[in-house]
Structure 1
Amino acid sequence: MTGARQELLARWRAEESEQPEGWDFSALDGRMWADPPPWDLDAIWGEALGAAQHVLDMGTGGGEHLLRFRALLPADVVATEGWPPNVPVARKALEPHGIQVTDFGAPDHDPDSAPMPFPEGRFDLVLNRHEAYSPREVARVLAPGGVLLTQQVGSGELPELHALLGAEPEEPTVTYDGFVADAKAAGLRVVDGEEFTGAYRFVDVAALVAYLQRVPWQAPEDFSVDGYADALLELHERSAGGEIALTQRRFWLRARRPA
């Protein structure tokens, strides 16, 4: 292996780390961008919060996104988080604002198998950003007339990278049409929503490796720089050491429990 390649691998190894606590991508500022979807999620959430009294934020991470709306939050807000290292982070961030954090997460492969730890009709607004959920359980904990707002990462993201790394194609389990159908089957009325395909853009392979440390489910379970060195070097050569564009998929929907 040439000295130049050894230097590249050493630089990429320096990006390897444990998944950071919370849901903070600030370390990638200036190194990665994502095409914005055509909807404004913050505006949608802000409008809904202005009319809500009892709110659940599912998959709050470290509470960072929810706290962006703290001026709009009602007195009764509850958050859930299912990744154990994030639970104390979220509690430290949210409990000073009177927001209870419950240790709960539905398994991605079978969200219906985990009942939510809340009584029927507990919330008039459920917020969910990139978190697995059971439409049946959400319908149960929503009050009559209550609203679910969710944005999801669609199946089929980063297919170019997965093909290069030799990963098995992802089953299309997270799709807009599928989530709409599941919401309707749970008795919810879907009133708005949209899907979007765009791109992630990374300044180089090092930025991509840093991103995959924060979202390890987007890479093979055994991913490491050394284990996939040949594929990463090929990607570096294909991009001439410059920008890498990979497919991004998003969708959102608004569903209401009938009054």
Structure 2
Amino acid sequence: MGSFGGHVLPGSIFILFSFMMSINACVTFHQSSRRGKRFKSFSFFYVPCVRLQRVPLEAVLKLLLTTVGIGIEVYNGFSNGKFVVMGNAQHATMYAYFGFNALTELLVHFKAPLPRNTEYVTLAMAFMVEGLLFKFHLHGRSQLDVLVHTLLLYVVYACIISVIVEMKYRYSILSPLARAYFLLIQGTWFWQVGFILYNPSPNAVPWKADDHGELTLVTLLFAWHALADFIILLVTAVTIHVCCRRRNEMAETEVGLKRLLHSGSNDQLAVCVQSDTDGDI
């Protein structure tokens, strides 16, 4: 991850899964409410599409992307035929744990005889290992580098807590949305760290690594990321609510029209039969 692309890749993955989780959780919640059933959260959600509703696309995609991440980190860690970049080994390990979580989710999908909530336990393990690696990844770094990764570490801790809370309170819509929120902060902050430490623009002015003013600005940026991400998820949830409600209203209207037409046809048939009977008499 010691490059702009190395921060953009995990950041994009976290953003992708945050939106997938928030959208699928909200749609599942509305579908459960419409059918009179109780909402239940899962470590991964199925795509709310008729053709893909039983395909564990989220787990498959997670396994695929983590495999790509491991391959990139291992490939870039070699120099002259030897693996010399231990930081890449740490990053590959992080991807491997999330890949392992994807494997357990697939096993749960195929109803393997696993202990209850195994997929949540492996997800919490993945975030714990991510936090552990970042905690001891900053030796000898500048104050700026330490600060941006320490702020990221706080979000990782929040992800661990949100997973444990969701495992306990699986019937609350707030549980998966909280996890999606902290995933989104991780994703957008990864991008921000990439621009702070490895800005790809040729005209970019480097940040001053030990300047108090710029360190303060970093904390302000993090606070604004947290607020902006919350607003994004809130708008997403409201938009899904409006769309689902309109779709339900259209479906109810269509059913009502069909019943009305069917009732009208039956009444017309009854009138015709009555007329024929009167004529025979």
What interval of TM-score do these two structures reach, taking the shorter chain for normalisation?
under 0.3
TM normalised by structure 2 equals: 0.26
Structure with a larger share of its residues in strand? 1
TM normalised by structure 1 equals: 0.28
Structure with a larger share of its residues in helix? 2
Structure exhibiting the larger radius of gyration computed from Cα positions = 2
